[in-house]
């Protein structure tokens, strides 16, 4: 069995797509997944399965439609892949500076970094930074100036936004350590 991390996009955000994590855990177990754990109330789950990441994604997306009545994008990846991404974080990302907000943007296939950059554009110099690694983008910005950044408004409103799911540095580190 392989250990996976699942990121469910748009769960429990702004009162939409509400799912209690206890119920989500139960539904994952009903899919045959083992050692299921959820983290926070934002659609993060860890589990073990002998299925491929793609098959796990298909099962979860189907279950979300049938059990909860809404279609949401899901990204499943082996836990080792998340650990690899974090091991390749740029030095400027995820530091102790509380004035900087550090996120990890996951790109859901078949979208690619070039698609994201083409649609959202370059980050605003001096206000935000990005660095791409595999299917992830390290993104940091000044908390006080976030409204002036290029990426803040566009990651949610751009067409490509439906192929992205974002987590904080602390959240992905916690998931990798679970």
Print pLDDT tens along the chain (178 aa): 999 999 998 776 666 777 888 999 999 999 999 999 999 888 899 999 999 999 999 999 999 999 998 889 999 999 999 999 999 999 999 988 889 999 999 999 999 999 999 999 999 999 999 999 999 999 999 989 988 898 988 887 788 888 999 999 999 999 999 9
Kindly state the DSSP code that residue 154 receives in the 8-state scheme: H
What is the per-residue pLDDT for 10? 76
What is the per-residue pLDDT for 3? 98
Other C-beta atoms lying within 10 Å of the C-beta of residue 165? 24
What is the per-residue pLDDT for 123? 94
Beta strands 100-107 and 128-133: pairing type? unpaired
Other C-beta atoms lying within 10 Å of the C-beta of residue 49? 22
């Amino acid at each position: 069995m392989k250990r996976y991390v699942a990121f469910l996009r748009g769960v429990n955000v702004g009162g939409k797509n509400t799912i209690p994590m206890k119920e989500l855990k139960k539904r994952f177990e009903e899919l045959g997944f083992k050692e299921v754990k959820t983290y926070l109330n934002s659609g993060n789950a860890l589990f073990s399965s002998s299925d491929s990441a793609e098959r796990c994604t298909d099962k979860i997306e189907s279950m979300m439609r049938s059990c909860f009545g809404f279609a949401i994008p899901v990204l499943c990846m082996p836990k080792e892949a998340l650990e690899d991404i974090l091991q390749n974080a740029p030095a400027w990302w995820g530091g102790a500076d509380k004035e900087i907000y550090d996120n990890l943007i996951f790109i859901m296939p078949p979208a690619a970094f070039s698609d994201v950059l083409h649609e959202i554009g370059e980050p605003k110099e001096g206000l935000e930074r990005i660095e791409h690694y595999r299917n992830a983008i390290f993104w940091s910005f000044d908390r006080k100036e976030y409204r002036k950044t290029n990426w803040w408004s566009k990651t949610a409103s751009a067409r490509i936004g439906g192929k992205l799911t974002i987590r904080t540095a602390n959240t992905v580190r916690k998931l990798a350590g679970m």
